[in-house]
Structure 1
């Protein structure tokens, strides 16, 4: 019922797994990224009524086994369905796909959003990555690709720059899977979705390096990430080694944790998935009307202050900034677009875009 349901190719992957030729409107809201806090606050704040009656519209989260939040603490019902990347993995492995290390090290710098930018010494971080891992494939967020200071910093340190594309590109997740599935190690300077994706498919994954500054967020946020998910913070950034434990044990612990955070235990079969997404034999009219009319109006009401987000949602969505003018920087970003087309059959991974 909202554009976020189709971010990063998630609805396209789910449609392929469910046996459909292309995605449909979802009867509810689908979590679109891993979050260290509740996705109800971080992703669903613009729609406070969704989930109050899950028989009509559901809040579809990836997992009920996360360390950062508990469904018991929410005032709305959430339904765990597993992350779309795990459905993509299932499709690929059914075709004989196996991870490799042919890309060598991959680094995914922590990125900001349209509303809140990441600031700091990218050049220093780029040189640190080159010292530890050598020249690496660096996957930049498509908005960071428009910043010459960022791109120059990473290129000058000897790295190869790629991007997975825009968030409304249905092939986004196929490109991410190509990167995390063919890396010798995936690293980032903050715990983020890509790190969990890599660990979940068995690729060594770690968090190290200058975390940079994210909006008004304090340094305590980074400390909380380290304390809550220590399995991903075991690398010595001076030489890339894991002190105090063997690599195999550390990788196994990270994989088990990542699959729990992404909801591997909640994956559905194709028929059950179609049912929970509201994808019956014929497309329903209600989710389409919500997508093209109700959803943009609800977001506009939030921006104009006609309805209010909770304090928890404001903190989760904007790193402590509550300035509503931030949401006017990209006034057309929330407008609905035609649904993405289906994916190629059979579904395969794709090379990332050359930055």
Structure 2
């Protein structure tokens, strides 16, 4: 019912797994990234009534995340765990004989901001740090960072190969991330983020280290919370990305188990039940009307203060430095667009990221 359901190629992958030629309108809201807080507060804040009826569900990846559970979200709306789209893509690829490899060498994914709140800090220092620890690496930049000459020069001048997975509305986005996460000898980032959890879930060594840079209102307390809650993803020395070799294999195995729990590996559905959970078993006009009419109006009402977020949602948004008025900088960004095209079924190949 909202454009976020189609972010990062998620609906395209789910449609391929469900046996459909292209995505349909989802009867509810689908979690679109790993979060260190409740996705109900972080992703569904603009739609406080969704989830109160079984006709429009809140579809989350997992009920086993360390960050939240259905009982402590502070919202009270029921959620349905369906697993992360990347795990459905993994199933599709394994069925075609794909296995992960180390062919790309080290991959680094710098933590990025958004068009609303930018990450600030010394990219050049971080780029040199990565080159010192891992050597010349494949660095995946956010597509908006890829248009910033200061950022691209910082990483390129340090000897790295720059790629991007594309815009968030690109249906092939997740295939490109899978190419990186599934073929890296190690995937690192300077903040615990979705890409790190993806890599660990696939069995790729994954680590968080380096200057975390500055994002919104987040300070040292937020970073300390990430380290204390998910120590399996963090290196022993946050400054050089290293950890004792004797414990590396055990930490990688622990991180894989944890990541698969965070992504909802135990909640994955077969194609028929998945179609039912997404509202794709039958064609009805309700999700279409919600997508093109009700959803934009609901977002506008939230920005203008005509409706209010829950206390948990307000806290989650403010922690990231977001203000409702920031959305007015890009008032057309959240408007509904035609549904993305489908992927080849079966999905037989991964799509390499675009180079700078």
TM-score of the aligned structures, taking structure 1 as reference length: 0.97
| In 2: Cα distance, 1:238 partner to 1:170 partner | 36
Name the residue aligned to 1:341: 341
Name the residue aligned to 1:140: 141
| Cα deviation code 1:109-158 (max 9, x no counterpart) | 00111211111111110000000000000000111112111111101111
Name the residue aligned to 1:117: 118
Helix, strand or coil at the partner of 2:341:
coil
| In 1: Cα distance, 2:298 partner to 2:96 partner | 42
Name the residue aligned to 2:63: 64
Name the residue aligned to 1:157: 158
Helix, strand or coil at the partner of 1:246:
helix
Cα distance change on mapping 1:210 and 1:89 into 2, 3 Å: same
Cα distance change on mapping 1:103 and 1:235 into 2, 3 Å: farther
Quick check: 1:247 aligned with 2:248? yes
Aligned-residue offset at 1:194 = 0.2
How many residues in Structure 1 have an aligned counterpart in Structure 2? 353
Quick check: 1:194 aligned with 2:195? yes
Cα distance change on mapping 1:322 and 1:255 into 2, 3 Å: closer
**Structure 2 unaligned residues grouped into runs of 5+:** none
Name the residue aligned to 1:220: 221
| In 2: Cα distance, 1:15 partner to 1:206 partner | 31
| Cα deviation code 1:287-343 (max 9, x no counterpart) | 000000000000011111111223432332353545332111111000000000110
| In 2: Cα distance, 1:216 partner to 1:329 partner | 19
**Structure 1 unaligned residues grouped into runs of 5+:** none
Instruction: Answer yes or no: is the 8 Å Cα contact 2:211–2:239 preserved in 1.
Output: no
| In 2: Cα distance, 1:217 partner to 1:245 partner | 34
CA RMSD of the aligned region, Å?
Answer: 1.3
| Cα deviation code 1:194-223 (max 9, x no counterpart) | 001000011000000000111111211000
Aligned-residue offset at 1:237 = 4.8
| In 1: Cα distance, 2:41 partner to 2:294 partner | 20
Quick check: 1:302 aligned with 2:330? no
Cα distance change on mapping 1:7 and 1:115 into 2, 3 Å: same
| In 2: Cα distance, 1:149 partner to 1:238 partner | 23
Instruction: Answer yes or no: is the 8 Å Cα contact 2:8–2:172 preserved in 1.
Output: yes
Name the residue aligned to 2:30: 30
Name the residue aligned to 1:104: 105
Instruction: Answer yes or no: is the 8 Å Cα contact 2:17–2:271 preserved in 1.
Output: yes
Helix, strand or coil at the partner of 2:129:
helix
Aligned-residue offset at 1:5 = 0.3
Helix, strand or coil at the partner of 1:350:
coil
TM-score of the aligned structures, taking structure 2 as reference length: 0.96
Name the residue aligned to 1:183: 184
Instruction: Answer yes or no: is the 8 Å Cα contact 1:236–1:243 preserved in 2.
Output: no
Cα distance change on mapping 1:50 and 1:13 into 2, 3 Å: same
Aligned-residue offset at 1:244 = 7.6
Please give the residue correspondences for 1:254-293 in structure 2 after superposition, counting only pairs within 5 Å: 254-280=255-281, 282-293=282-293
Name the residue aligned to 2:326: 326
Helix, strand or coil at the partner of 1:187:
strand
| In 2: Cα distance, 1:111 partner to 1:98 partner | 29
Please give the residue correspondences for 1:70-109 in structure 2 after superposition, counting only pairs within 5 Å: 70-74=69-73, 75-109=76-110
